[in-house]
Amino acid sequence: MKTFRKIFLIIILISSTSFGGGWIQKQGSGFYKLDFRYLPGKAWYNDKGEKSNLRIKDISSGFYGEYGILDVLTLTANWIPYEKISVDSVSANNSPSEISGVGDPGIGFRYLIGNFGNSVLSAAGRIGIPIGKTSKDGELWLGTGEWNQTIGLEFGHSFYPTRAYTSTYVYYRNRNEGISDDVQWGIEGGYSFNEAVSLIARFHGLNTLENGSEDVLAGFAIYSNNQKYIAYGLDLSYKFQSGFGLSAGYESGGKGRNIISAAVFSAGIFYTN
């Protein structure tokens, strides 16, 4: 059982998003991560999915934390302390455009519905708080510009006694200010080579429901309205005995809509107790 719990912990350690695969933190325990991401985009998928050349650069830092309030309830939080987005041209006169500052925070929870042998099922929810800088519709934004609410289910399965697992999730996000609701989904699998080194493979996507206002563009680049994409990536982590650890990741994607075409490189430091 001790080894089983360690596998659960590894799943949390190597996840670079708020997706935890359904596993809950023990009461009083936590996980905290600060990472840095670099997105050097050279193309853009428009509303019709057509690809065009456009140089976009996004450099950001991100914080994610989890804390076990109860053995069945985990509090989650995420925030972008700093983000800088630059685009070669947004306006018709091809003038350079850039924006930097803090991004939107979010607070949420994960509640354990039940354990089923080596599997676990949890409910999850999150509220997005719009404090990131926005400007005119269709220009560069550092946040979504609206309060949003996400609810969903997370399922995880450990292949104990082997050091492998798989997990999946599906979320529904309610949007406001004329922005369309969307559905987020994902599946991943991971393997721990020993007590310190772990590797995860992730496949996930986002689908717009196109139920917002047709004339609302929202923020160009990262926070556009009616986005659609499929992405895949790898994350590698190393955990020290002190509870600190390091992680590195790479992510790319397939054809989408209203989204940057680019790979994402990340590096982070985490702590767990």
How large is the average pLDDT for residues 53-68? 94
Furthest CA-CA distance within the chain: 63
d(CA 261, CA 51): 8
- Band of pLDDT at residue 14, cut at 50, 70 and 90: very low
Q: In this structure, what are the phi and psi dihedrals at residue 54, rounded to the nearest 5 degrees?
A: -165, 120
CA separation for the pair 62, 215 (Å, rounded): 31
The predicted structure's pLDDT at residue 30: 95
Task: Say which DSSP state 223 is in.
Answer: G
The pLDDT tens digits for 121-179 are 999 999 999 999 998 888 899 999 999 999 999 999 999 999 999 999 999 999 999 99
Strand ranges (E), 46-181: 51-70, 73-87, 97-101, 106-116, 119-128, 148-158, 164-174
Closest-CA residue to 259 (of 16, 76, 39, 22): 39
**Mean pLDDT on 204-223:** 92
Which residue's entry shows tokens 């685009």?
Answer: 87
Q: How many CB atoms are closer than 10 A to CB 154?
A: 22
User: What percentage of the chain's residues is helix, strand, coil (to nearest 5)?
Assistant: 5, 60, 35
Query: Is a pLDDT exceeding 50 seen at residue 12?
Result: no
Q: What is the tally of structural domains in the chain? A: 1
Confidence of residue 246 (pLDDT cuts 50, 70, 90): very high
Check pLDDT > 70 for residue 6: no
Domain of 141, CATH number, reads: 2.40.160.40
pLDDT band of 9, cuts 50, 70, 90: very low
Q: Please write down the long-range contacts of 176-179, taking CB distance under 8 Å and 24 or more positions apart.
A: 176/146, 176/147, 176/148, 177/145, 177/146, 177/216, 177/218, 178/212, 178/213, 178/215, 178/216, 178/225, 179/144, 179/145, 179/146, 179/148, 179/212, 179/216, 179/218, 179/225
Q: Domain of residue 249: give its range.
A: 2-272
Least confident of 31-40, 65-74, 77-86, 217-226: 217-226
Provide, rounded to the nearest whole percent, the portion of the chain with pLDDT above 70: 90
Q: Is the pLDDT of residue 253 over 60?
A: yes
> What was the pLDDT predicted at 89?
62
Supply the pTM of this predicted model.
0.88
Low-confidence winner among 10-19, 55-64, 185-194 (lowest mean pLDDT):
10-19
pLDDT for res 17: 44
Average pLDDT, integer, range 108-115: 97
